[in-house]
Structure 1
Amino acid sequence: MALADVDVTEQKRLNDAHAAQVPWKQWGPYLSERQWGTVREDYSEDGDAWNYFTHDQARSRAYRWGEDGLGGLSDDQQRLCFALALWNGRDPILKERLFGLTNSEGNHGEDVKEYYFYVDSTPTHSYMKYLYKYPQQEYPYLDLVETNRKRSREELEYELLDTGVFDDDRYFDVFVEYAKRDPQDILVRICMHNRGRDAAQLRILPTLWFRNTWSENHDDPRPSLCEEAPGVIRARHHELGDYWLYCEGATERLFTENESNARRLWNQPIASPYVKDAFHAYVIGGQREAVNPAKTGTKAAAHYVCNIPGRDSVTIRLRLSAISRDNAFDGFENTFNERIADADEFYERIAPKSLTEADSVTRYPKLMELIAQFRKRYPELLAHVAPTDTGFIGHRERRLLSILNRRKLERVLGYLLDENEFLGPHGIRSLSRYHLEHPYVLNIGGTGYKVQYLPAESNTGMFGGNSNWQGPVWMPVNLLVVRALMNLYSFFGDEFKVQCPSGSGHYMALFEVTQEIVRRLTGTFLRDADGTRPVYGGTSKFQDDPHWRDLILFYEYFHGDNGAGLGASHQTGWTGLVAPLLDMFGRIDARAVLDSDRWRVMAGASAHEAGGGDNALNAHRP
């Protein structure tokens, strides 16, 4: 059955977006997590992006090339943006964006010091759910900077949980959900849970603003926001057209301009009294003159003051629509229920299933032609790669082009699968554990340089100090190993077996070896026999608390001996590869790899999961 024929609502949206250009993906989670301190905004002479545009400046300084925000969304060109601003009554600044340490501030380099989670999303972003954990005590900005700066590279990082601001559950869980009624009609539901025993007040400002494209490009027409009616903000843009933000039950609507506060930043005159940090000045500083009484501008917010009883919650509702509506909240909850059901239905459909039918074998005439040309041009290289024609031919007459013949592969895997060398409890280490006791030392000009196995964070400032390739498990390296072993298995078949782990006396074919590596990798995130997730190490809040224990973070790399997450906590760009690994090995078995076109099986699994147009896996679906 072709994907286009599958009777699943979200798949239909994907098909419409791809084939009919229905703009289901026009609005999505496209705001940056951090725009400050990036090369995107760096115009410094020395390339010091961290100090050219700091977190402290970000609330007052207009960005040029992008925007950031908490739990936000925007159109796909980041022209009109929506996100949250929060204040617990104690923080020195309005919480509008994530905070983190720069390379020079952290004892292991840059690192975000917040807890936030992308809980759910469909491919068209017809439904999305985000969670931000906000302390009720004053956010410890200074403590995080000073304590991390004092720590040595041999010590662990000082994290937000270590400061004690989440003790006794004195924090808010702020959930933000989006449900699209249609591609340009987005319902917003914000639910704030007080996890503490005592009542607490939270001010929340759902904010709508335009990225500033007019200050540098004077030919770009200036868009506008205005209060069209109580609880209704109208947005006008020469490309996007008109949108309306409906704010149910808002205390008031605030307006200003998305313009830099030159007086605060550079002690220069400002052209308008209404600047980017006006809501900070109004809410925290009590400066009523900071916002525009005419209720117009390029940045606007609905202001809610929520008094939340202990262990209770408050929900607010908004709607961003390209159509003016008289009854904006009719059918609101039904739409959310439908979109959540759509998401569940979609992911249930693509959940891995065992393959029941082998794909047909596809020959490679073009590949064979290239190999023939290669043999003619580089005979001396091929003498080492494939010493005989027989060595070139494997299972089902497949061809192998590799620097590893059978004997060399056995030797390499002897090291790779040795638990005292590369094979760790949670994947392949980036450096052999042998070098813990036997470091590699190189002397140059009387100076000794040492490479020693370090299973956790780096002990040097190399690469900013926030990456370590001397021992930890890295997901992209493991994926390359898995891919190589799958290729080799499809060539050698079940006849070639090695000990896994090395020296164990237990022999496995390469498909089984690959399964074992993937089992160790995925086990990093799953509960073990003790009910703990290795990824969270000894952090009891993440291991035991019911409001934390099932939230998964995709760390940059992992401790080589115990699997604890290290480095950046939202490195989904490569650690998210664990998802297709789980998917692929939930779908295929050894016979499918041997008897089918391996490229179609592996690529098809990814395309199928993403809901793309490649129907390569359809032959394998029951």
Structure 2
Amino acid sequence: MTERSAEPAIDRWAERRRIAEQARGERAWSLWGPYLSERQWGTVREDYSRDGNAWRSLTHEDARSRAYRWGEDGIAGLCDDHGLLNLSLCLWNGRDRILKERLYGVTNEEGNHGEDVKEVYHYLDAVPSHAYLKFLYKYPHGPFPYDELLQENWRRGRGEPEHEIEDTDAFDADRFFAVTVEYAKADVDDIHMVVTAVNRGAEAADLHLVPQLWFRNTWGWKDGAVAWRPSLEAGPDGSVTCRHARLGTYRLSFDGAPELLFCENETNPRIHGGRPNAAGPFKDGLNAAIVDGDPSAVSATSGTKLGLHYRFRLEAGASATIRLRLHAGTRARAVDGDGTATGRRVAEADAFYEMLQDGILCPDRQRIFRQAAAGLIWSKQLYRYDVRTWLAGDPLLPAPPAERREARNATWRHFASADVLSMPDKWEYPWFAAWDLAFHCLPLALLDPDFAKGQLLLLTREWYMHPNGQLPAYEWEFGDTNPPVHAWATFRVFEIDRDRRGGRGDLAFLEGVFHKLLINFTWWVNRKDAQGRNVFQGGFLGLDNVGVFDRSRPPPGFGVVHQADGTAWMAMYALNMMRIALELALHNDVYESTASKFFEHFLGIAEAMTDMGGEGVGLWDEEDQFYYDEVDMPGGQMLPLRVRSMVGLVPLFAVEVIDPKMLQRLPDFARRMNWVLENRPHLAQLVSRWNEGGEGDRKLLSLLRGHRMKALLTRMLDETEFLSPYGVRSLSKAHKDAPFHLDAFGASFSVRYDPADSTSNMFGGNSNWRGPVWMPMNYLIVEALRRFHTYYGDDFLIEYPTGSGTSLTLDAIADALEERLIGLFTKDADGRRPAFGNAPRRHAETDPEEALLFHEFFDGDTGRGLGASHQTGWTALILNLLHHRAKRAN
């Protein structure tokens, strides 16, 4: 007989079962997660200043001694879904001037390309239930170069690259600690934490590991709250008891014999209140005790903040491991001493991803898939912000200045969030953005469809959506306008979820979002079509500095900006809403007339793109064969802004293909559609070859007839213009040698191709749509080409690349673009990943596993990652691309 292993068999379905239990409300696996922000300082929520300068209101320097009002931050942190109790990593190398409690970076004013985190850290692994999480942080042996990073980035101009920590000597000769933090849940409220530090240098070095546990300050803002003050108390058995009126009782167990250092999560009034004799301890007590050697700054028995102080002297190559366990209940439980519990969760995570990666045969692509998924999961964050309370101030604090009554978001007093949201980047963008989140939900739907659906529903709820129907844009200005992609994301998530549910679509989800988006669509029509022409002015629409000037606030003298992208986004929105209505109409015929309404609205927008207001003038430039913004100048002159940018490619996204079987099942919609096309021939001409039918007699709805689409694709697929080795650029490279110039009203404006960081101050200069490759827009391009192919079929060929003499189907071109985008992260013939740039990866060879980053955007020439370095939010669309490639391979 075969000898049985002593190890229990791994449950391959364990993670899927946890996700299902959470979705059904049976077990709260989402009670604890990586919801702790990586930066709470410098946010609008914590800005109580007179001038509204959030970066100066609460700085990184302030953060260790001032209590936060709305949230907390930390390194590799975990917290409950109300952010009441927080657990994170803290370190000290014996040489830094402060404890390393939170990640450091330069602010928007300090960085030569805007705000930027100046640390080396990676999200290595995660599963959707948070039953297993793994994080890597690299901590130098020597003093952290705070001053050099600040001063050098302040000194540099926009034409120079950012000065990163790896450009300093902090990691020379591998003089750093590689510190991994792992969390493994034994149950929904029982969490093992394992911290392992390895000395990568050639010499011995000191390291203090100080895991922190603390309560968010909920007692210092209003009368009576102090009665509910929570507590952390050392027990005689060596554990710590955590008591909270809402959360209940938890226990913290740990191995070894660390020094227990308690303080209070309260602002230090000696520094911030003008009270030099105030009695402590305060929030910065751990820093004072460990770094400054002041034992009076802490307590040995109780408080609301705790540091477990472990000291190590690590020889070259040596490691140290500490283990903790945080769990509900009154009796202490043993830590995961032999790693069995953590090992089991790792094996279950392996099984979960093996099933998800079915068909991804290349190990390198499997690694990319899994680390992108990890970044997406780690980027969940608890987002607390009550605008009415924030504007009014708190009873126990000084009254806010009068200027705050007209502060940003003053018209969003209904907004009150206390929810877990998918963040773009938990340091650079530790607040949600509506259109970012819509893109996040597609890869999230591959991992945890119910969480993805919940996110899309959440933004349409009453405490987010404005009473007038507008969706909040982002924290810095809720009233700004993002591209209306919520309907598109909703239907795509519905389709992904339907596939996973064996063809059973979640109609309740689809209908729930649809009803709210009816209000939002009406807001767009009423508020952003200034002249009632079906031509839209959405402002910057998320594309930041792509325009000649800030399109939200045109310079004095300029008239209304008719936006090619704004109008095309609305055409896409109309088609998305029509498609959702058609899906709902298959189950409830009341939606047929609603689908007809959006069909006709699309035709009206398509007409306006070609002929605004019956004046024979549209947004298509026949001479250049491209779409441009136009300014309706005072006096009636129309001024085209001939910048060949992503603005002119957005019309590709407005495409829908209707299967004849659907028309057979929806006769009322079919009759109304045919009546409109027969009785409004000028509108029928806008729809490509409607009466002829396409592949399989399908019907096409698009802003682009065959000729215009070919003309647009000729430019887009030209390697001297938009097509880069790693996707489609946001601005034509033709503007490198021929920048666009405009002289008007005594001012000069210019747009030049910049493949990398922004050289424009517009929107703070911290993003760039003047050349780099952006993943979400490329994803929409790939999707549009595939939809066009379902209509045109294999006989419709386009030269790819332009001028190559090789013609491909639209589907094959979409495949080729997918491979270019995936190529950002895969190793080339020389073993390098383009997203890492040309510089050698210092100390990469010493990593136990290669750690990847998923940037905000990528150099239009080299593919080097740029912008926010951990924006796995929308760059996680790489998951969907890899998933699609695997399905095609099968």
TM-score (norm 2): 0.63
SS at match of 2:149: helix
- How many angstroms apart in 2 are the aligned matches of 1:19 and 1:27? 17
Percent of matched pairs sharing the same residue: 45
- Which residue identity lines up with residue 340 of structure 1 in the other structure? V
Quote the offset at 1:200 in angstroms.
0.8
Quote the offset at 1:323 in angstroms.
2.9
Counterpart position of 1:479: 779
Contact 2:323 2:337 in 1 (8 A): no
Counterpart position of 2:516: none
- Range 52-61 or range 489-498, more displaced: 489-498
- Range 315-324 or range 50-59, more displaced: 315-324
User: In the alignment, is residue 390 of structure 1 matched against residue 655 of structure 2?
Assistant: no
Distance 1:368 1:247, change over 3 A: farther
Query: Pick from 828, 831, 842: which aligns with 1:528?
Result: 828
- Which residue identity lines up with residue 809 of structure 2 in the other structure? A
SS at match of 2:251: strand
Query: Aligned-pair RMSD on alpha carbons?
Result: 2.4
User: In the alignment, is residue 174 of structure 1 matched against residue 174 of structure 2?
Assistant: no
Query: Pick from 119, 122, 130: which aligns with 1:117?
Result: 122
Counterpart position of 1:273: 280
Query: Pick from 409, 413, 429: which aligns with 2:713?
Result: 413
User: In the alignment, is residue 347 of structure 1 matched against residue 347 of structure 2?
Assistant: no
Contact 1:541 1:549 in 2 (8 A): no
Counterpart position of 1:227: 234
Counterpart position of 2:308: 302
Counterpart position of 1:93: 98
Contact 1:418 1:503 in 2 (8 A): yes
Quote the offset at 1:350 in angstroms.
0.9
Contact 2:174 2:843 in 1 (8 A): no
Counterpart position of 2:759: 459
Quote the offset at 1:234 in angstroms.
0.7
Contact 1:543 1:549 in 2 (8 A): no
SS at match of 2:352: helix
Counterpart position of 1:422: 722
Quote the offset at 1:270 in angstroms.
7.3
User: In the alignment, is residue 201 of structure 1 matched against residue 206 of structure 2?
Assistant: yes
Quote the offset at 1:229 in angstroms.
2.7
Counterpart position of 1:328: 334
Counterpart position of 2:252: 245
Contact 2:690 2:699 in 1 (8 A): no
SS at match of 1:385: coil
User: In the alignment, is residue 79 of structure 1 matched against residue 84 of structure 2?
Assistant: yes
- How many angstroms apart in 2 are the aligned matches of 1:368 and 1:71? 56
Distance 1:346 1:269, change over 3 A: same
User: In the alignment, is residue 379 of structure 1 matched against residue 680 of structure 2?
Assistant: yes
User: In the alignment, is residue 576 of structure 1 matched against residue 576 of structure 2?
Assistant: no
Counterpart position of 1:493: 793
Distance 1:504 1:388, change over 3 A: closer
SS at match of 1:415: helix
- How many angstroms apart in 2 are the aligned matches of 1:215 and 1:374? 65
- Which residue identity lines up with residue 204 of structure 1 in the other structure? L
Quote the offset at 1:265 in angstroms.
2.3
Contact 2:47 2:57 in 1 (8 A): yes
Distance 1:372 1:314, change over 3 A: same
Distance 1:549 1:472, change over 3 A: farther
User: In the alignment, is residue 552 of structure 1 matched against residue 852 of structure 2?
Assistant: yes
SS at match of 1:390: coil
Show CA shifts across 1:420-449 (max 9, x none): 110100100000011111111111124321
- How many angstroms apart in 1 are the aligned matches of 2:124 and 2:682? 51
Show CA shifts across 1:217-257 (max 9, x none): 33441111100135311100111110011121132111111
Contact 1:257 1:275 in 2 (8 A): yes
Query: Pick from 285, 293, 298: which aligns with 1:291?
Result: 298
Contact 2:46 2:69 in 1 (8 A): yes
Counterpart position of 1:258: 265
SS at match of 1:242: strand
- How many angstroms apart in 1 are the aligned matches of 2:823 and 2:305? 46
Quote the offset at 1:548 in angstroms.
8.3
SS at match of 1:545: helix
- How many angstroms apart in 2 are the aligned matches of 1:380 and 1:103? 53
Show CA shifts across 1:365-388 (max 9, x none): 559828935973993662442165
Quote the offset at 1:46 in angstroms.
2.1
- How many angstroms apart in 2 are the aligned matches of 1:413 and 1:474? 18
Contact 1:254 1:303 in 2 (8 A): yes
Counterpart position of 1:25: 30
Distance 1:576 1:542, change over 3 A: farther
- Which residue identity lines up with residue 311 of structure 1 in the other structure? G
- Which residue identity lines up with residue 861 of structure 2 in the other structure? D
Distance 1:167 1:263, change over 3 A: same
Distance 1:542 1:577, change over 3 A: farther
- Range 423-432 or range 496-505, more displaced: 496-505
- Which residue identity lines up with residue 547 of structure 1 in the other structure? D
Distance 1:549 1:565, change over 3 A: farther
SS at match of 1:363: helix
- Which residue identity lines up with residue 523 of structure 1 in the other structure? G
Quote the offset at 1:398 in angstroms.
2.4
Counterpart position of 1:128: 133
Q: Which runs of 5+ in 2 are unaligned?
A: 1-10, 361-498, 505-658
Distance 1:120 1:549, change over 3 A: closer
- How many angstroms apart in 1 are the aligned matches of 2:279 and 2:259? 22
Counterpart position of 2:158: 153
Quote the offset at 1:406 in angstroms.
1.3
Counterpart position of 1:611: none
TM-score (norm 1): 0.89
User: In the alignment, is residue 363 of structure 1 matched against residue 370 of structure 2?
Assistant: no
SS at match of 1:229: coil
- How many angstroms apart in 2 are the aligned matches of 1:437 and 1:196? 47
Contact 1:120 1:130 in 2 (8 A): yes
- Which residue identity lines up with residue 529 of structure 1 in the other structure? A
- Which residue identity lines up with residue 205 of structure 1 in the other structure? V
Query: Pick from 283, 301, 325: which aligns with 1:319?
Result: 325
Counterpart position of 2:110: 105
Quote the offset at 1:567 in angstroms.
1.0
Distance 1:111 1:234, change over 3 A: same
SS at match of 2:185: strand
Contact 2:212 2:307 in 1 (8 A): yes
Q: Which runs of 5+ in 1 are unaligned?
A: 1-5, 590-621
- Which residue identity lines up with residue 386 of structure 1 in the other structure? V
User: RCO (CA 8 Å, sep 6+): is it higher in 1 or 2?
Assistant: 1
- How many angstroms apart in 2 are the aligned matches of 1:429 and 1:191? 41
SS at match of 1:401: strand
SS at match of 2:177: strand
SS at match of 2:235: strand
Contact 1:384 1:403 in 2 (8 A): no
Contact 1:187 1:332 in 2 (8 A): no
Quote the offset at 1:129 in angstroms.
0.3
- Which residue identity lines up with residue 298 of structure 1 in the other structure? T
User: In the alignment, is residue 439 of structure 1 matched against residue 444 of structure 2?
Assistant: no
- How many angstroms apart in 2 are the aligned matches of 1:272 and 1:470? 54
Show CA shifts across 1:291-347 (max 9, x none): 024x11111121100111111111111000113445513675111111000000000
The size of the alignment, in residue pairs, is 581
